[in-house]
Amino acid sequence: MIARVAGTEPSGAAKVPVEDRLFSLVLALVATETGLLKSEILSTVRGYAERYDASGSNANLERQFERDKDEIRDLGIPLETVESPDRPGDNQSLRYRIPKGQYELPEAVRFSPDELALLGLAAEVWREASVSADSQRALTKLRSLGIEPRDPVIGYAPRLRVRDAAFEPLRQALDRRQTVRFRYFKPGEREPRVRTVDPLAVVLHEGRWHLHARDRDVDEPRTFLLSRIVGEVQPVAGSTFDAPPPGIQDRVIAELDALRLSNVADLAVTAGSDAEVRLGKRAVDGDEDAGVIRLHYTDEAVLADELAAYGPEVRVLGPASLRQAVRDRLRLVADAHRGRSER
Amino acid sequence: MNESRRKPLKASDKLVFLLSLVPYLLEQQVVDVPDAAAHFGVTDDEIRDAVRLIATSGLPGATGTYQPNDLFDIDWDAFEDDDVIVIVHHVAIDDAPRLSAREAAALIAGLQYLSALPENAGSASLGALMQKLTAGASAAPTRLAVAESESDASLAAIRAAVADGRQLEFDYRNAVGVAGRRRVDPLRILSQDADWYLQAYCHTREDVRNFRVDRMSDLVVSDLPIGEHAETVVPDTLFQGSDSDFDVVVDALPEALPLLADYLADSKSEEVDGRLRVTLRLAHVHGLKRLVAGLPGLVTVVSPAEARAAVAGWATAGLAGYADDEASGH
């Protein structure tokens, strides 16, 4: 039997801070080998025990425990549930524990001062709040090893922004292997269409974020541009899927690279223009004197947007579809800005 | 459901800090509060608060009463009198925690982005480091990746000049379209997504300027050392305001707004026919016409009239290049 002690504290005792409760819970679950019953946790662990009612239902406290478990697991701490061999399926006899071997960083994973300096710079890259927070938490964990990083890499300020609203919900869906639904606006289609997909990988290629996913409606893998996802990414309740093969993200990048190499645009650029200098740096071939360059591209609509920005500095020679796409864009812009604003 | 529940991020960050501080203190055995604070990049008080919490934490024990032997303990005299931390008794944890799948993925993708840096190009150590992070995660890292991009060939030379403190010369065509030879003291390489910039003291302009690396040509690393720049302020942002900036009112589709974030003059917006009317601040109309033409259908200039005309003129001049197609009845 577990004695109920803390619950008898005088009312008005200072509330136990959340991190104190979580810390006490982790300590208790790491220390146990056989696991603790939920009733044991709620009645003894600091932060719960003060509010435990031995004769009541403790429904609030149980919900608190469920949320705390999720939060601890979100931090990468392997909180396990063990079924009682005698009473499978009985929720009240489930035991909880954190196996020490899976909690601790493996012995082989140690970092040199140089590596830590590089990791510090890698964490600095992220401007997007949630990824940045994840990176910083990882650094905090690695600091526990007590290695002082070599002086920060000077002369660099690398930054990666994420401007697609779909990024964070998709990253969560990847982690939870959660099916999601969103509206997708494919170039050439009249309006956005609803897609239901199992997200497998999210990759940045040629400056654009792509989602690789299994499209549930056609049961085929598809790659989507995050910038063309319209509105919210919604989880499909109760629908999850198996983990994709390891390294799938590298395969997706290789596929996008192959796609890029298979697309060839021929452009005429104005001598001495911004287009000549900047597009010229990406050229794979060309005749400088004739002002003609050739470059590869992944997505025709994306390149057409970029080329439209150069206005008269660049003219598409081919392919015809790209030529028309750029022309359509310039016409759209010219028409929208003709005359005085009607408003 | 997880969307609506805002996680008390602060508490989970504090938990990670506590779980990381314990093994650090055990490893160090004896450590001054300021040293621990510097190591973790927190304040002295944050270290002291955490140590007090750790020193009174532990296990409920067989009786569920948190008896002294089930608790952490520190040398309180050393702590209170000398600001020195010594853990004299510890329970449950003594080693660094693993990374979460998301944490490992964030660092791995950050490293992949850094592979564009000249000194990391094709680096095997970067790959080994990513493998270590994978091994140090409690689950397979989230499938997040950044494709290795070909870095501009100039970047290696610029990097060498920054590291050696030597001057650079190059031809540069600025955003307004004016070209010229520049001599600069390179100070810092800054990137934003796929774009690379050099922040340098320009001898011609006698001030710090940002140069797009892809607008440079005929780059030469000089033998001349750079000047003294200890007092020089290198701005943290790429887009700095100046007196000659001008404001433009545009209507933008809501999804285009993040693409305009660098140029927003203020946080005000007004809904007009399903579009958001916002004010942009730009250095020059040359920048505006490129920006708007590159977001076809997403952004329309409302005023001033000269700005509208400049965009219309730019697009129309571009269209002229396709006059043959137009004539043939497309």
**CA nearest neighbour of A121 among B199, B139, B129, B36:** B129
Average pLDDT over residues A230-253: 92
What confidence tens digit (pLDDT) does each residue in B147-171 have?
887 767 788 889 889 888 999 999 9
Can you give the residue ranges of every domain in chain B? Answer: 9-89, 153-225, 246-320
Instruction: Give me A297's structure tokens.
Output: 């591209």
Residue with tokens 């660092």: B107
Angle between helices A18-31 and B44-55 (to 10 degrees): 50
Residue B268 buriedness (CB in 10 A; 0-12 / 13-18 / 19+): exposed
Question: What is the count of residue pairs from A and B with beta carbons less than 8 Å apart?
Answer: 398
The tens digit of pLDDT for each residue in A170-200 reads 999 998 899 999 999 887 777 889 999 999 9
pLDDT, position B3: 35
- Is residue A2 scored above 70 in pLDDT? no
Residue A42 has pLDDT above 60, yes or no: yes
Best probe of the A interface among B16, B134, B251, by most A CBs < 10 A, is B16
- The helix/strand/coil state of B9 is helix
Are residues A158 and B311, on separate chains, in Cβ contact within 8 Å? no
Backbone φ/ψ region at B15: left (φ over 0), alpha (ψ -120 to 50), beta? alpha
Mean pLDDT of B239-263: 83
Q: For position A180, what pLDDT does the model report?
A: 97
Mean pLDDT, to the nearest integer, of B192-213? 88
Name the CATH topology of A6-103: Arc Repressor Mutant, subunit A (1.10.10)
Q: Cβ of A23 and B18 within 8 Å?
A: yes
Distance CA(B182)–CA(B205), nearest Å, equals 9
What is the pLDDT averaged over residues B280-295?
90
Chain A nearest C-alpha distance from B4 (Å): 12
B175 in Cβ contact with A278 (< 8 Å):
no
Say if domain B246-320 classifies as CATH 1.25.40. no
The answer as to CATH 2.30.30 being correct for domain B153-225 is yes
Domain definitions of chain A by residue range? 6-103, 107-161, 167-246, 263-336
Residue B314 CA to residue B308 CA, distance in Å, equals 10
* ipTM > 0.95 for the complex: no
Q: How far is CA B263 from the centre of its chain?
A: 18
Q: Burial-class residue B106 by CB neighbours within 10 Å (0-12, 13-18, 19+).
A: buried
Please state, for a pLDDT cut of 90, what percent of chain B lies above it: 55
B9-89 shares its CATH topology with B246-320: no
Residue from B327, B300, B303 nearest B315 by CA: B300
Confidence (pLDDT) at A290: 83
Q: Provide the CATH topology of domain A167-246.
A: SH3 type barrels. (2.30.30)
Distance CA B204, CA B182 (A): 7
- Name the B residues in 149-168 with CB < 8 Å from any A CB: 149, 152, 159, 162-163
pLDDT tens-digit series, residues B58-100: 999 878 788 888 999 999 999 999 999 999 999 999 999 999 9
| B4: confidence class by pLDDT, cuts 50, 70, 90 | very low
pLDDT for the residue numbered A306? 94
Residue A338 has pLDDT above 50, yes or no: yes
- Mutation target to probe the A interface, by most A beta carbons within 10 A, among B2, B144, B173 is B144
Answer whether A95's CB lies under 8 Å from A82's CB: yes
Chain B residues 18-37 with CB within 8 Å of chain A: 18-24, 27-28
d(CA B183, CA B205): 10
CATH topology of domain B9-89: Arc Repressor Mutant, subunit A (1.10.10)
Nearest-CB residue to B143 (from A163, A174, A268): A174
Average pLDDT value over all residues in chain A: 89
pLDDT at A12: 44
Cβ-based burial of B327 (10 A; exposed 0-12, middle 13-18, buried ≥19): exposed
Q: Mutate one of A23, A130, A248 to test the B interface: name it (highest B CB count within 10 A).
A: A23
Q: Count how many Cα atoms sit within 13 Å of the Cα of residue B290 in the half-sphere of its side chain.
A: 17
